[in-house]
């Protein structure tokens, strides 16, 4: 899939992979990508290795190549793409670890022989200014102990370990690797959500849990998709909506201009996304907000075009409308939410 330092993914194996993910999409929506076999497909295709530096057993693909792959995967199975971004976030933190931690985890993660996810939402919603942090870390007899809650963890019951973050007594943050079979770790049943329940997102409670590794926050190497991954997934979902819309337009000529206009807007967002991967001057928040608006409008257009059939549960348009609204709440900074709310209320910014 990715040659070392690839700037674009190899299109032929990527297309084969995406077709296979599409064939499993229904099972993935129900069981999750770990049980449906979708995550194994990512490993065998070499996608996972692209996120890991070559020195740590991966192929070290560039950020533009990673974003291209995420867009393509999301255009066939958004649940798989979401799980992949959470796996990648965990890997990005581990890349910042010491040599022992990197050698213990990264080659196996690149090969797909072990899996991980990330649970750090509690760091951005910490209660430390008003009370105790959501997840606290304290040292006891030379061992770190974690107590508290991770409210949102994708695939918590399906991976081998969770990469999480906690706050020390002095207010500093640390990252930790915690196997899911650790004593004191309790994983709640996966949430039933408006969409993407196949991500098996759960809350995780820590009761004096001892992690197996600690990682100091620092500048990390490797691919840094960061907030751009959410934009990439929104663009991928838009492309799937356009596929549905264009299918309807093939039989109804009046829909062709609508599909063409949305396709052109998606192409413009794709250009900006690639530019943002290498240009820090690109306004990522406005790019994300524009992608959010586009994915919702494209899904609504697909639903409108499919008429009553699209409103029946199980139709692609029905699922697309639900999934599009995920981008309004997933990793959505206040600045992006503000832009969206102003657009919804027609307030001039």
Model pLDDT for residues 12-43, shown as the tens digit of each residue: 999 999 999 999 999 999 999 999 999 999 99
- Please determine, for residue 229, whether its predicted confidence score (pLDDT) is greater than 60: yes
Report the predicted TM-score, pTM, of the whole model to 2 decimal places. Answer: 0.94
User: At the topology level of CATH, where does 228-345 sit?
Assistant: Butyryl-CoA Dehydrogenase, subunit A; domain 3 (1.20.140)
The label of the residue with tokens 């991500």 reads: 199
Alpha helices in the chain (DSSP H): 11-23, 25-31, 33-36, 38-45, 47-50, 63-74, 78-95, 99-111, 121-124, 228-249, 256-276, 284-310, 316-324, 334-345
* Residue-level pLDDT at 221: 40
* Residue-level pLDDT at 77: 98
User: At the topology level of CATH, where does 117-215 sit?
Assistant: Butyryl-CoA Dehydrogenase, subunit A; domain 2 (2.40.110)
DSSP state of 126: -
Q: How far apart (Å, rounded) are the C-alpha atoms in residues 62 and 46?
A: 14
Task: Measure Cα distances from 218 to 92, 165, 175, 234 in Å.
Answer: 11, 13, 10, 29
Domain layout of the chain by residue ranges: 11-115, 117-215, 228-345
CA angle 8, 14, 19 (to 5 degrees): 155
The CATH code that applies to domain 11-115 is 1.10.540.10
Q: How far apart (Å, rounded) are the C-alpha atoms in residues 197 and 18?
A: 20
The radius of gyration of the chain's CA atoms, rounded to the nearest angstrom, is 20
The label of the residue with tokens 């942090």 reads: 133
Q: How far apart (Å, rounded) are the C-alpha atoms in residues 168 and 174?
A: 7
* Residue-level pLDDT at 227: 82
- Please determine, for residue 251, whether its predicted confidence score (pLDDT) is greater than 80: yes
- Please determine, for residue 267, whether its predicted confidence score (pLDDT) is greater than 80: yes
Q: What are phi and psi of 51, to 5 degrees?
A: -80, -10
Task: Measure Cα distances from 280 to 63, 222, 275, 276 in Å.
Answer: 13, 17, 9, 6
| H-helix or E-strand spanning residue 214 | strand 213-215
Q: Dump pLDDT digits (tens) for 281-324.
A: 789 999 999 999 999 999 999 999 999 999 999 999 999 999 99
Strand partners of residue 205: 149, 186
- Please determine, for residue 130, whether its predicted confidence score (pLDDT) is greater than 90: no
- Please determine, for residue 8, whether its predicted confidence score (pLDDT) is greater than 90: no
Categorize the per-residue pLDDT at 124 as very low, low, confident or very high, splitting at 50, 70 and 90: confident
Across all residues in the chain, what is the average pLDDT?
Answer: 93
* Residue-level pLDDT at 219: 45
Is residue 121 within 8 A of residue 165, CB to CB? The reply is no
């Amino acid at each position: 899939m990715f040659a070392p330092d690839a700037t674009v993914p190899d299109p032929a194996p990527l297309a084969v992979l995406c077709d296979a993910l599409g064939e499993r999409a229904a099972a993935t929506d129900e069981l999750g990508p770990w049980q449906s076999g979708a995550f194994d497909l990512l490993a065998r295709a070499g996608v996972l290795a692209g996120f890991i530096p070559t020195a740590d057993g991966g192929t070290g693909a560039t950020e533009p190549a990673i974003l291209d792959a995420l867009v393509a995967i999301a255009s066939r199975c958004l649940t798989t793409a979401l799980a992949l971004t959470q796996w990648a976030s965990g890997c990005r933190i581990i890349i910042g670890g010491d040599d022992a931690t990197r050698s213990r985890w990264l080659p196996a993660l690149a090969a797909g022989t072990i899996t991980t996810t990330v649970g750090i939402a509690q760091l951005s919603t910490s209660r430390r200014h008003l009370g105790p942090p959501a997840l606290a870390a304290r040292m006891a007899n030379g061992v770190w102990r974690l107590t508290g809650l991770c409210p949102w963890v994708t695939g918590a019951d399906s991976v081998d370990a969770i990469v999480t973050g906690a706050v020390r007594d002095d207010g500093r943050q640390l990252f930790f690797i915690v196997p899911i079979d650790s004593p004191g770790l309790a994983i709640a049943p996966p949430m039933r959500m408006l969409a993407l329940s196949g991500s098996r997102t759960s809350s995780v409670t820590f009761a004096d849990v001892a992690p197996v590794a600690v990682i100091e926050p620092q500048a990390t190497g490797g691919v840094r998709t960061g907030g751009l991954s959410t934009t990439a997934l929104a663009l991928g979902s838009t492309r799937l909506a356009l596929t549905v819309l264009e299918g309807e337009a093939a039989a109804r000529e009046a829909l062709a201009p609508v599909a063409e206009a949305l396709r052109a807007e998606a192409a413009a967002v794709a250009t900006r996304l690639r530019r943002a991967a290498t240009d820090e001057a690109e306004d990522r928040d406005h790019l994300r907000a524009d992608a959010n608006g586009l994915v919702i409008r494209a899904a609504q257009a697909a639903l409108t075009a499919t008429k009553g059939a699209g409103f029946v549960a199980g139709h692609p348009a029905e699922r697309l409308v639900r999934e599009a609204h995920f981008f309004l709440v997933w990793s959505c900074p206040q600045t992006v939410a503000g832009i969206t709310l102003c657009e919804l209320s027609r307030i001039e910014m």
